Amino acid sequence: MNSVYILDETQQAIVTQFGKPVGDPRTTPGLNFKTPFLHKVQFFDKRYLEWDGDRNQVPTKDKKFIFVDTYARWEITDPLQFFIRLRDERSAQSRLDDILDGETRNAIASHELLDLVRSTNRDPEVTEEFMEEIEILSDISVGRDKIEKIVLEKANLRTTDLGVRILDFRFKRMNYVDDVRDRVYDRMISERNRIADQFRSEGQGEARVTEGNKERDLAQIQSEAFRLAEEIKGKADAEATKIYAAAFNKNRTSVDLYKFVRSMESLEKSLDENTSLILSSESEFFKYFKKLN
């Protein structure tokens, strides 16, 4: 049984004798043979492997410090060279840390922040009216996608003699360092407060215009109502006077009789049996006697 070993679809292997490789790498799945006791089989993964970078603080070309988190996918392309140079996956991960982290730092230090966070020069979508006043972003010359490809190409140049190939490299996350992020947040808050103050100022201006229009319309309505009321009162007074005059003209005899009766009643109350009254011919009381004659 020591002379036989099985290689499945996910594996590749080399055979060593006293720690030194013997023969060509075994990459075909199936049954394989070796010399018992003398030969030892070293298995390596044939699948795509994961590399997850550490979160590092890196300065950009425009002197802005950011935290960068990256990841990559890689594979073992030459098991024999891989064994000679790296021995195992743990050593390979450590070597990739040096290569990818170094190339990441070089790429970030060679480009401005705007190139690292954008991939195209498309204009930002304006969803609110107040955003129209926001300064249009400057055009980028490289872009995030191209920078990732640059890191990938340069890293693969350094791994050609290691028996591995990096398949893909991506920036997983970028963010400002704490003190810079606080300043950015303060600037964002200040900008939003400015926009809010602008909205309040415009709202107060509109409110004053509306209030002025309301006062003007109210005064106009009250003035018109007072004018109409006075016109109605005037017409009513005129109509009442007309009715009084017509009634007076129709009942003039009754009025004279009423005045006569009232005068007689006054004389009756003013005089008694012991009182003598001398009336002038011009007296108001005497005129009724003249009419009786």
pLDDT tens digits, the chain, 293 residues: what are they? 778 888 899 999 989 988 888 888 888 888 888 888 888 888 999 999 999 988 888 889 988 888 999 999 999 999 999 999 998 999 999 999 999 999 999 999 999 888 888 888 877 666 666 555 555 667 888 889 999 999 999 999 999 899 999 999 999 998 887 777 777 788 888 888 888 888 888 888 899 999 989 999 999 999 999 999 999 998 998 888 888 777 666 665 566 666 677 777 777 777 777 777 676 766 666 666 665 55
The helix (H) or strand (E) run that includes residue 253 is helix 252-270
3-state SS, residue 38: coil
User: Is 246 within the bounds of a domain?
Assistant: no
Cα 163 to Cα 55, 75, 99: the distances in Å are 26, 9, 14
Domain boundary among 118, 150, 176: 176
Quick one: 35 and 56 in the same domain? Answer: no
Q: What confidence score (pLDDT) does residue 92 get? A: 93
User: Is 285 within the bounds of a domain?
Assistant: yes
User: Is 202 within the bounds of a domain?
Assistant: no
For residue 119, the domain's CATH number is 3.30.479.30
User: Is 220 within the bounds of a domain?
Assistant: no
CB neighbours of 278 closer than 8 A, spacing ≥ 6?
Answer: none
Quick one: 35 and 110 in the same domain? Answer: no
Quick one: 140 and 118 in the same domain? Answer: yes
Quick one: 94 and 105 in the same domain? Answer: yes
Domain boundary among 176, 202, 218: 176
- Judge contact between 36 and 3, C-beta under 8 A: yes
Q: CA 105, CA 111: separation in Å to the nearest integer?
A: 10
Domain that holds residue 90: 48-176
Q: What confidence score (pLDDT) does residue 254 get? A: 60
Domain boundary among 148, 176, 204: 176
Q: What confidence score (pLDDT) does residue 127 get? A: 62
Q: What confidence score (pLDDT) does residue 100 get? A: 95
Q: What confidence score (pLDDT) does residue 62 get? A: 86
Cα 135 to Cα 15, 124, 132: the distances in Å are 64, 10, 8
Structural domain count of the chain: 3
Quick one: 71 and 159 in the same domain? Answer: yes
User: Is 166 within the bounds of a domain?
Assistant: yes
- Judge contact between 121 and 74, C-beta under 8 A: no
Q: What confidence score (pLDDT) does residue 249 get? A: 65
Against a cut of 0.85, is the pTM above it? no
CB burial of residue 48 (10 Å; 0-12, 13-18, 19+): exposed
Q: What confidence score (pLDDT) does residue 140 get? A: 81
